[in-house]
Amino acid sequence: MLRLGVNMKILVTGGAGFIGSNFIRLILKKYSEYKIVNLDKLTYAGNLDNLRDIEKNTNYTFVKGDICDKSLIEKLMKGIDIVVHFAAETHVDRSIKESGIFIDTDIKGTYILLQAAKKNNVKKFIHISTDEVYGEIYKGSFKETDSLNPRNPYSAAKAGADRLAYSFFCTYNFPVIITRSSNNFGPFQHPEKVIPLFVTNLLDGKKVPLYGNGLNVRDWIYVIDNCEAIDFLINNGKIGEVYNIGGGSEISNIDLTKLILNFFKKDESFIEYVKDRLGHDRRYSLDCDKIKVLGWKPRFSFDEAMKSTMVWYKNNEWWWRKIKSGEFRKYYQEHYKKHME
């Protein structure tokens, strides 16, 4: 195990996104001596409002840029001790409509980062993967040693990046650690995702679109718990290993929907059943004994974290209103049009 000292300099990719921004805030609060460089392309899902409260922190630097920009990455990587790689195209629905950009960002971008990090003798490279690389499971839970069976372009691209990172450990003995977390939720999550979408729709008096019969099952983890797990693995994880990070809170989509409806005192007439997603995975589930044996476990219960999340969206209309109003939609359309031509 490679232990880290003080005065670490961390490059966070995709740090203006949902999980990345929560991670940056956690690290700056916990380690006053650490310096963070946040590299983000600011696509529609990257939002500097996510980090408005820490943008003047002298230990924080923001750089707008693309992980596929080799010259930029090589420049930024000099003097970096740790890379925490969140940057990725992530939405399954968009990957079904146009998968090319997912391959470019998730695989090619990861390769460019790994090459530059290896060249500059980075002490640790934390690759953020996802439980979706395993595919679906009807009974039991996936262990880190189970085969990967991604079933949509997004999860396939993430699986490719996941194994590419692992290959750098096997081939070059490069210090990679891989995390695969279950579905994250919490503050600053883009309202295209199910929980903030449903919450903000209900705040606007609109119905919530539920795929199929709503029987698909997901395990949910509060974003703060996931960020704390990543920090824990930076300090305690074994190089070359994969770690599942789950909240241990499996719930069907229909029951999740009812929970949100009940919080806002709405009945089931607010559910709009829509055509099911292509290749929709029925259930995800992670066996997280490996990280728990090291001493980590979630701090927040699902119920308290969900309540806190829904209250956050209720109290922070300033943040999500501009996103849903169309300010970001124009960028989204222009951004993806370039990759479809």
Partners of residue 107 on adjacent β-strands: none
Q: Do residues 18 and 50 make contact, with C-beta atoms less than 8 angstroms apart?
A: yes
Active-site hit among 60, 154, 166, 284: 154
Burial class (CB in 10 A: 0-12, 13-18, 19+), 56: exposed
Active-site hit among 132, 219, 228, 281: 132
Catalytic residue flag (residue 31): no
List, in order, residues 6 or more apart from 337 with CB less than 8 Å away: none
Active-site hit among 81, 106, 131, 219: 131
Q: What angle do CA 321, 13, 120 make, to 5 degrees?
A: 165
Catalytic residue flag (residue 34): no
* Strand duo 176-181 + 242-245: pairing: parallel
201-235: b or e for each residue (b if 16 or more CB lie within 10 Å)?
bbbeeeebebbeebebbbbbbbbbbbbbbbbbbbe
Tell me, rounded to whole angstroms, the distance of Cα 60 from its chain centroid. Answer: 20
Catalytic residue flag (residue 132): yes
> Which sequence positions are flagged as catalytic?
131-132, 154
